[in-house]
Amino acid sequence: MTDTAAPSYAPSYVDPARPPRKKWRLVRGVWKFLVAIKDALVLIAMLLFFGLIFAALNARQSTTAIKDGALVLDLNGSIVEQPEEQAAFAALSGQSRTRQFRLRDVVRSIDTARTDARVKVVVLDLDSFGGAYPAALGEVSDALARVRASGKPVLAYATAYTDGGYRLAANASEIWVNPLGGTIFMGPGGNQLYYKGLIDKLGVNAHVYRVGRYKSFVEPYTRADQSEDAKAASTALYGTLFAQWREAVAKARPKAQIAQFMTAPDKVILSANGNIAEANLRAGIVDKLGDRTSFGRRVAEIAGSDANKPAGNYTAIKYDAWVKANPLPTAGDSIGVLTIAGEIVDGESGPGKAAGKTIEKAVLDGLAKKTLKALVVRVDSPGGSVMASEQIRLAILEAKRQKLPVVVSMGGLAASGGYWVSTPADVIFAEPGTITGSIGIFGVVPTFENALAKIGVTSDGVKTTPLSGQPDITGGTTPMFDAIAQAGIENGYRQFISRVAASRKMTPARVDEIGQGRVWDGGTARQIGLVDRFGTLQDAIDEAAKRAKLDPAKVHAEYLEKKPGFLATIAQGFGNDGDDDAGGGDAFTHVAADRRQMLARAVGDMKRLATSGSIQARCLECGGMGPTTAGIGDAKLLDLLLARIGF
């Protein structure tokens, strides 16, 4: 018989200060999770750090001396008064973006190329040109004409020219087009989206309060089609601007048979068996047919090339390097230049939007230095918030209180709120193609009581006064609120009228007659007294210097705008090496791209209606003649919308 040890049932000793094993597992798990988060954050930070270094190296302009060659203006985007600030990490994330070129930089680059012996030829690459307002196109075209008149060649190339692109190319010594491309001129105009049917189906009530017979900005939300008044005003505006386009093209290329492409393009193209490029050549609209390689060989004949590189290469001077090598002058007395570009909005914003608080600060900070001898206000805006417009106007008046001359220079457009901020001027300059006027205001308040009722949601409550809870977006507005809102809009219009009347030395009745929300071209605006003279920004600076009793040749422009930060500078330069070719496609590809941009702007308009202040001074017609590329925010919003619905 063997002895077996009895099992021990004695409990093991447990340290009361020691937590149970399950709790230790939980603590260790949490710790591992926190360490993983820390490691991930460190990895992300390192990736961003090295990405920024890479971006900075790519964005940094070459410091080597500029050599003889062709100045290449690869205008793969739109020309604007003030480019929007790029998101700092957009390039690192691989997001595609459309570039915006600052008008004054483009003009300066062309003018300096005219007199610089290192530039043998100016090359216009317009394959992906995104357009500009007529006044901006005119200013760039005039600069190109000066180069051509000096005897220096200007060569233009595109697969297909837009109307705006051809406005520039017409001033070239040689216009090239791809044999498989070609240009069909569209002219201004086209359909505008109207949302009344959609709004009704959704059960949304758009309560509109407005003054101005021609104030048509709200029509897409209240009608299914364009009113007769709005149609008549747009017909007159577009007709005048299109006539200016035809006149400018005819002056630059008198032998080009443009008329037949306007009246019967089908006959011209069919007679060429559908070969649009050949039809363009026969009509003298272009000078040469050829692909990029052939065009490159032609440029190389003038600018030189590198025998070790592929066929079609030529010695190029890049636009960004040229602009950097030709900075704005800084000698002499300072003339402040305040830029009011883009939609006028409340609060603060970056470049490309005219934010009331931001611009007010720029003006007051500039005046506080006590070095400015005069103030030039450069306006390129379709308007926006009335409150922000008044905030900007009062800031400009501070310059007048300090006895500084104030001169307004209107760019592509200065309409509605853009005209409101122009009223403090001693003198107003514009271009014949400037879009201005639109003196009128409106307000829109959407309510959703019908939409909620469709899903069985109603609203009720206690009101202590007739205006309690108004405007009620869930229950609708009351007749009393509607009456007060309309009275407020009418009062705002009277203030607008009085400011214009005092500025232009007219009676309020006369301003009301030419106001009513009517949009005018710059030539007509001068005839009816809304502007004083034709001229560029430089003409306005010269006038401001004279009014300050200074020699215009001995002053410089000091731009009162926030300098881009480090990250924004990197984002702006990253990817702008000009090596990628975003162009291509036939004429119909370019037309389709333009329609997509129109859709993006429409989506952006709907967002702005829902998020902007309710009282607005904004112009609808202005968008029909501007850049064909949508703003950065509108393009992103469209991409997001299409992604959500599966496109």
Q: Which residues are catalytic?
A: 215, 416
**Pair of tokens at residue 288:** 């040469």
In whole angstroms, give the CA distance from residue 646 to residue 230.
36
Cis preceding linkage at 508, omega within 30: no
In whole angstroms, give the CA distance from residue 340 to residue 377.
7
Q: Name residue 533's beta-bridge partners.
A: 429
For residues 140 and 156, the answer to whether their CB atoms sit within 8 Å is no
E strand intervals along 267-405 = 288-289, 316-318, 333-341, 344-345, 354-355, 372-381, 383-385
Please enumerate in sequence order all residues whose Cβ is within 8 A of that of 244, keeping only pairs 6 or more positions apart, or say none.
134, 138, 432, 433, 521, 523
Residue of 68, 132, 127, 86 lying closest to 106 (CA atoms):
132
* Residue 476: DSSP 8-state: B
In whole angstroms, give the CA distance from residue 488 to residue 519.
23
Q: In whole angstroms, how far apart are CA 505 and each of 426, 501, 502, 509?
A: 11, 5, 5, 12
Phi-psi region of 80 (alpha: psi -120 to 50; beta: other; left: phi over 0): beta
For residues 302 and 296, the answer to whether their CB atoms sit within 8 Å is no
Handedness of CA 236, 239, 244, 245 (dihedral sign): positive
In whole angstroms, give the CA distance from residue 499 to residue 390.
10
Q: Name residue 121's beta-bridge partners.
A: 70
| Rg of the chain over all Cα atoms, to the nearest angstrom | 30
Amino acid making up residue 121: V
**What ranges in 304-355 are assigned the alpha helix state H?**
319-325
Strands 99-102, 288-289: pairing kind: unpaired
Please enumerate in sequence order all residues whose Cβ is within 8 A of that of 144, keeping only pairs 6 or more positions apart, or say none.
110, 122, 124, 154, 168, 171, 172
Amino acid making up residue 325: A
Q: Where is 184: in which H helix or E strand? A: none
Please enumerate in sequence order all residues whose Cβ is within 8 A of that of 570, keeping only pairs 6 or more positions apart, or say none.
52, 55, 56, 59, 88
E strand intervals along 202-325 = 205-211, 288-289, 316-318
Q: In whole angstroms, how far apart are CA 313 and each of 117, 118, 299, 429?
A: 21, 18, 8, 43
For residues 277 and 289, the answer to whether their CB atoms sit within 8 Å is yes
**Pair of tokens at residue 385:** 């918030």
Amino acid making up residue 169: A
In whole angstroms, give the CA distance from residue 414 to residue 76.
25
For residues 559 and 337, the answer to whether their CB atoms sit within 8 Å is yes
Phi first, then psi, for residue 437 (nearest 5°) are: 90, -125
Burial class (CB in 10 A: 0-12, 13-18, 19+), 303: buried
